Structure 1
């Protein structure tokens, strides 16, 4: 993949870009295998390759520059905006939307936030594209002051960006390196973006998480579904379930599935998908995964965990170790914390694993591992 931003030193985020893609994939696979090397009985399946470009369904753009000439991209070391609206990682719909959104910034009078000077309003533009080509646009502001102007000019944006389905304002008033704040103001009638994965509609709300690479998310959920189907458990917990990707994919007649996620927004999305599919044996709870698991009277036959980079941690790993859960399906985006969690669960031995290249051109990935109680 050739990238002018990388070649001219304007953006070096794709740290592996100079390596041929086959070497990138082989290097990630070798690193993960080395981290889990002490598990001698672990069977490794071939890694799953991704498209190297045009795969990102989400653009996280720092807004810089001036009101007349805003930049959408990143900030340099001095805090000045570097425009990356032509980034080759983004899906085509995102690339087409960014120039329109830059014009909207100027039209609506949304002064870019100046980090060194600590003044201005618009901090980030977060844009997500669905598999159907619809868009969710979130504007991260310092305050509510520009909201009236945004509402006034929203008809212009909808006219010039017909793919726009969901728009919102997120309020992040603090001067710190945090992408978004807790408050979200919905600007459109639609509250969710439909993320079609296989024959299942997942619903993404503004503050819900979804995998950045839709094609790899499809492969991940299909792999999890197939591995669970082989075991045919009658009960499954999906901890850190997000918008319900694993829980809804592993649902089957006669199988009780419970998804647990700390974000009420994500749980509301998962419940919407469950209701549309008529999956009466699937339910979701908005709760801390570890606390919820410890409160239950009896464990299920299989637990799915899909934690953030920090892993599941010693408390949940300890609970799983002392429980009678026969199988665990662990989806990890950080094999170092995965390895630490496995060390804390010696009775649950990894028997099968596969790396999926969720983030080409970087050192990041997803690895799915099936654990069986010894």
Structure 2
């Protein structure tokens, strides 16, 4: 894939842009195998390839420029906006929406936030597209001051962007390098974006994490279901459960599944999905994964972990090592921390593993492994 933004040095976020995709995928496979070599993986399944472009279902864009000429993209080293509305890794739905959103910024007089002077209101646009082409649009603002204008002009936005199901304002008053704040004001009647993957529909609320690459997320969850089906666990935990992707996919009416996630919004999303699917043996709760495990009376047959880049850490790894759990399904977005965690669990051997290319054009990838107690 070639990108004019990358070639012109306007955006270098995709560090592998221009490299042949087959070479990218092979390098990721080699890296995963090197890191997990000390643990004797039983079977390496072929890496799951992604489409090279159009793969992102979530665009996290910085707003710069002026209210009459806004940029939607990134900031340069001096804090000036670089417009990336034609970004090739964003979905076609994103690219169609960006010009409409730029016009709306001008109409609603949402002054872009200037990092140097700390003035202005609109900091970021976060746009998520569902597999059905519906959108969630979030305006990250410095304060609530623009909310009346957002509400006033919302009908115009919805008329020009009919696929926008959820529109909200996120409030981020602090001047710091984070994407969003704590408070969210939903402006539309609909408050969730249905994300239909395989035969499971997840209801995504604002501030809920969801895998960035829809096609690869589908493959990941389907593979997890296949690996687990033969184990037939009586009970399973899905730690770091997010909006419930793994838990909802392995729910079969026989296994009792508990999902634990720190994000209250994600838990609300997962519970709505569970209720909608009428799954009586699945439940979700807000909490810390490690604290939940350490406070449990006993371990289940299966523990699923899908932690952030830092991994599960020594405390949870140590608990899993000493527990009676017969299997652990570990999905990792950082093979370095995965290897560190595996070293702390020598009684759990990886019997199979697979790379899923969640992030083409970058060095990042997802790797899932099934661990079995020796």
The TM tier, using the shorter chain, reads: over 0.9
Matched, 1:33 2:33: yes
> Which residue matches 2:241?
241
**Deviation by residue 1:169-213 (Cα, 9 ceiling, x = unmatched):** 101111110110111111111110000001211011001000010
- Give the secondary-structure state (helix, strand or coil) at the position aligned to 2:11: coil
How far apart are residue 350 of structure 1 and its match? 1.0
How far apart are residue 2 of structure 1 and its match? 1.6
**Deviation by residue 1:33-81 (Cα, 9 ceiling, x = unmatched):** 1111112243211100000001111111100001110000000001000
C-alpha separation between the residues in 2 aligned to 1:33 and 1:41? 9
C-alpha separation between the residues in 1 aligned to 2:346 and 2:225? 25
**Deviation by residue 1:65-98 (Cα, 9 ceiling, x = unmatched):** 0111000000000100000000011111111000
- Give the secondary-structure state (helix, strand or coil) at the position aligned to 1:33: helix
C-alpha separation between the residues in 2 aligned to 1:212 and 1:288? 23
Structure 2 portions without partners, runs of 5+: none
**Deviation by residue 1:102-138 (Cα, 9 ceiling, x = unmatched):** 0000000000001111111000000000011110000
**Deviation by residue 1:136-186 (Cα, 9 ceiling, x = unmatched):** 000000011111111000010001000010011101111110110111111
**Deviation by residue 1:309-357 (Cα, 9 ceiling, x = unmatched):** 0100111111101111000000000000000000111111111100000
- Give the secondary-structure state (helix, strand or coil) at the position aligned to 2:158: helix
- What is the aligned-residue RMSD (CA, Å)? 0.7
> Which residue matches 1:121?
121
C-alpha separation between the residues in 2 aligned to 1:135 and 1:252? 30
> Which residue matches 1:370?
370
Matched, 1:4 2:4: yes
Change (3 A) 1:109 1:41: closer
C-alpha separation between the residues in 2 aligned to 1:19 and 1:197? 30
Matched, 1:135 2:135: yes
After TM superposition, the runs of 4+ consecutive aligned structure 1 residues lying more than 4 A away are none
- Give the secondary-structure state (helix, strand or coil) at the position aligned to 1:274: helix
C-alpha separation between the residues in 1 aligned to 2:253 and 2:241? 20
- TM alignment of 1:139-150, pairs within 5 A: 139-150=139-150
TM-score, L = length of structure 2: 0.99
C-alpha separation between the residues in 1 aligned to 2:25 and 2:34? 14
- TM alignment of 1:47-62, pairs within 5 A: 47-62=47-62
Matched, 1:274 2:274: yes
Structure 1 portions without partners, runs of 5+: none
Change (3 A) 1:138 1:41: closer
C-alpha separation between the residues in 2 aligned to 1:178 and 1:257? 33
C-alpha separation between the residues in 2 aligned to 1:67 and 1:325? 56
- Give the secondary-structure state (helix, strand or coil) at the position aligned to 1:314: helix
- Give the secondary-structure state (helix, strand or coil) at the position aligned to 2:5: helix
TM-score, L = length of structure 1: 0.99
C-alpha separation between the residues in 2 aligned to 1:174 and 1:276? 37
